[in-house]
Chains A and B, each alone.
Chain A
Amino acid sequence: MFKYLKQLTSLVAMVAVLFTFTTETMAAKKSKTLKNTQKKGFVRCGVSQGLPGFSNADAAGNWTGVDVDVCRAVAAAVLGDANKVKFTPLSAKERFTALTSNEIDILSRNTTWTLSRDADIGLTFVGVNFYDGQGFMVRKNSGYTSVNDFKNGISACTNLGTTTELNMRDFFNSKGISYEPVTFEKADEVVAAYDAGRCDTYTTDKSGLAAQRIKLSSPDDHIVLPETISKEPLGPVVRQGDSVWEDIVRWSLNVMIEAEEYGVTSANADSMKTSDNPAVKRLVGAEGELGAAFGLDNDWSLRIIKQVGNYGESYKRNIADTGILPDRGPNELWTKGGILYVPPAR
């Protein structure tokens, strides 16, 4: 009996080692960020310091906006509750450092996707949740109707350290106009300075202009000029090196857009389980095993749609109904003349 004990133990040990290896690889597939998020019980989300329509807190501290909804969607997918999000308001200056130094897990803060940001500083952009472009706001009584009316010596207020600063230079240089850039760290100060008359024009993303215009002392005395001087695809960002987490955030956003495309809303999501369309059934988790690839259950996408709504609902609730940008412009589905087009969830 004792003769075999030694061999038996070594066999057990070998099996144990093998087993730990396999569980180890399974766990590794479940990303570190996902594991931490599930352990903490909330998603750590970096947002703006207050941009109506995108990420804005009301008096009671409830955050709303299309950027906020991306984080809520991820929370619904991985934790089952869209309210389990901890929001961290960040300035433009702090945002990337907060993400790379592990203070937050998703940066959803009207951030423009550019090559240098994507490649250089340890970040990965996962998609676009708003197609924007830089514009100019001026006083109505200035008589400006186009950026071509701008003259040498014009002063322009804007935010510090954004792509706006670079676009502005490219634009004024190409027109051969000398200008005075007045850059503030916080948007509230930009608005206050422009409102006081420090600057002749206020330039930032057009959605931002529309949102900030409401904060001016008399919004009706200001107009946004028709020209768009840059491409500003805004989208959520995650840290480089956690591809599972990256996929979860990417597909949480994509599911919202695809749900709109197939007409699945927060109201009818449950009844869509019996739909004839297999694509719709996959979306609400009645067919296929889509969640398993991320280490999630099969209802993850259904929860997003039920708790947060599809992209169209989010846009309507946050941007259209608040009067910021009632016209969806490029942010309409590709089937309706916009450029929202996401890979199929299958």
Chain B
Amino acid sequence: MNIKKILPQLLTLLVVILIFGFFSYNAQVNMENRGISFGYGFLSQESSFDVQFSLIEFDGSHSYFRAYLVGLLNTILVSVIGIIFATIIGVVVGIARLSNNYLINKTAAVYVEFFRNIPLLLQIFFWYFAALRALPLPQDTEPMFGVFFLTIKGFFVPAIIWNNLDIFIYSIIAAIISITFVRIYARKKQENEGIQTPVFSISIGLLLILPILTFLFGGVDASVEVPVIKQLSQSGFTYEGGIKLPPELISLALALSLYTATFIAECVRAGVQGVSKGQKEAAASIGLTPNQVLKLVVMPQALRIIIPPTTNQYLNLTKNSSLAAAIAYPDLVLVFAGTALMQTGRAIEIVSITMLTYLSLSISISIFMNWYNKKIAIKEK
């Protein structure tokens, strides 16, 4: 390391620091001139507003910090739901686009071209207001399977009331741990003796049997609470009991997954097409079944092409979830950068916290996906 190499780096760092310093100094002076105070003390103040839908207990007597957590959890919730569904739809559509069947192939192509070329905000409005117009009022709805009620005020599903839920959860954890051991054992056995163990069936069995045992012997007990209709006024009804998924969440998750799935579908198609034909033919020629060809030869190679661009789509979906504010889904932007910002007037503080939060969320997703990508990458020996 000589000074010639370090000096430009140091200079760049210095310039960056100076630019940041200038902006924060400038902001400070301007805020002082306009009589705006600065500080994060407001986070512990009472929020005095309510939120429609929250994963943790929240009302106006809680602090602004808790309101921040409510918004953050709601953002994570809709992102996770969106990512799961976008991946499922994306993989199915991506493979459908490779199908030799003309109808399946073209349907998938039309879906992709249609949904990825319309602005997401419009799609969110469409799904929300179309859903609101199309869904029945609570009193007019036909229950699905007698216990699910899809209405304009939300999707009411039965809640499960647990006794000794913790034992049940431990049993699932135990099942997962034992599955890991079975897999390690199976791999060793295959390497040493060349005998394959039916890992998949054993795993399913463990996942079913252990929790069932807790019901029989562990004192675990679950009952179902079905939503019941409640009259609010001569013409207004709602449902009580059970779990309520607000229409805002459903339409937002729907719009996000349908939109992002088109991009994932293209990633999947590109990935599968990126595996050379010779690989498949070689695999088939050594006697692998078509299933094994896909699972052992094509997919591991395709995934290497699919993962990096799909990571971008996951990041996009998470960031796009901030459009929730348009349709009243209480995400981070609506609750914290919306209501809390306006009630406190602390624009710089709140916007900076919100930006940092999205940054951390995106970086976490990206770190996880990079780790996964590394895991499946070719290991040079």
Contact = CB atoms under 8 A, between A and B. Distances in A.
A189 B153 contact: no
A169 B49 contact: yes
Contacts of A160: 325, 334, 338-339, 342
Interface in A105-148: 116-117, 120-122, 138-139, 141-144
Interface in B318-339: 325-328, 330, 334, 338-339
Given A154-B232, A241-B34, A166 B342 contact: no
A161 B350 CA distance: 14
B236 interface: yes
Contact of B327 (A143, A161, A162, A189): A189
Contacts of A153: 230, 232, 238, 240
B236 A200 contact: yes
B152 interface: yes
A63 interface: no
Interface in B214-272: 230-236, 238, 240, 246-248
B117 interface: no
Residue in B36, B59, B232 whose Cβ sees the most chain A Cβ within 10 Å: B232
A28 interface: no
Interface string B5-35: 0000000000000000000000000010111
A105 B189 CA distance: 78
Nearest to B30: A101
A88 B155 CA distance: 39
A180 B51 CA distance: 8
B285 interface: no
Given A96-B345, A153-B230, A198 B236 contact: no
Contact of B51 (A181, A193, A200): A181
B48 A139 contact: no
Nearest to B37: A120
Interface in A149-202: 149, 151, 153-155, 157, 160-162, 165-166, 168-170, 173, 179-186, 189, 192-193, 196-198, 200
Contact of A144 (B233, B328, B341, B344): B233
A142 B52 contact: no
A97 interface: yes
B234 A143 contact: yes
Contacts of B48: 166, 169-170
Contacts of A155: 153, 238
B34 A161 contact: no
Contacts of B33: 241
A21 B111 CA distance: 73
B375 interface: no
Contacts of A165: 49-50, 339, 343
Given A181-B51, A185-B326, A198-B153, A193 B233 contact: no
B249 to A, nearest CB: 12
A306 interface: no
Contacts of A144: 233
Given A155-B153, A185-B325, A198-B132, A161 B236 contact: no
Contact of B342 (A93, A139, A141, A197): A93
A97 B230 contact: no
A139 B236 CA distance: 9
A189 B334 CA distance: 14
Nearest to B230: A153
B345 A197 contact: no
Given A182-B52, A197-B132, A122 B36 contact: yes
Contacts of B334: 160, 183, 185
B381 interface: no
Given A92-B342, A173-B60, A239-B34, A192 B129 contact: yes
B34 A169 contact: no
Nearest to A144: B233
Nearest to B240: A153
A294 to B, nearest CB: 22
Contact of A196 (B50, B133, B235): B133
Contacts of A121: 36, 345
Contacts of B236: 139, 142, 154, 200
Given A153-B230, A173-B60, A189-B326, A142 B235 contact: yes
Interface in A235-258: 239-241
Contacts of B161: none
A100 B59 CA distance: 30
Contacts of B325: 160, 185
A117 B345 contact: yes
Contact of A141 (B132, B232, B235): B235
A151 B235 CA distance: 13
B50 A100 contact: no
A192 B152 CA distance: 13
A92 B51 CA distance: 18
B233 A166 contact: no
A200 B233 contact: yes
B195 interface: no
A322 to B, nearest CB: 27
Contacts of A162: 342
8 contacts: A93-B342, A120-B345, A161-B339, A165-B50, A166-B60, A169-B60, A184-B326, A185-B338
Interface of A: 92-93, 96-97, 100, 116-117, 120-122, 138-139, 141-144, 149, 151, 153-155, 157, 160-162, 165-166, 168-170, 173, 179-186, 189, 192-193, 196-198, 200, 239-241
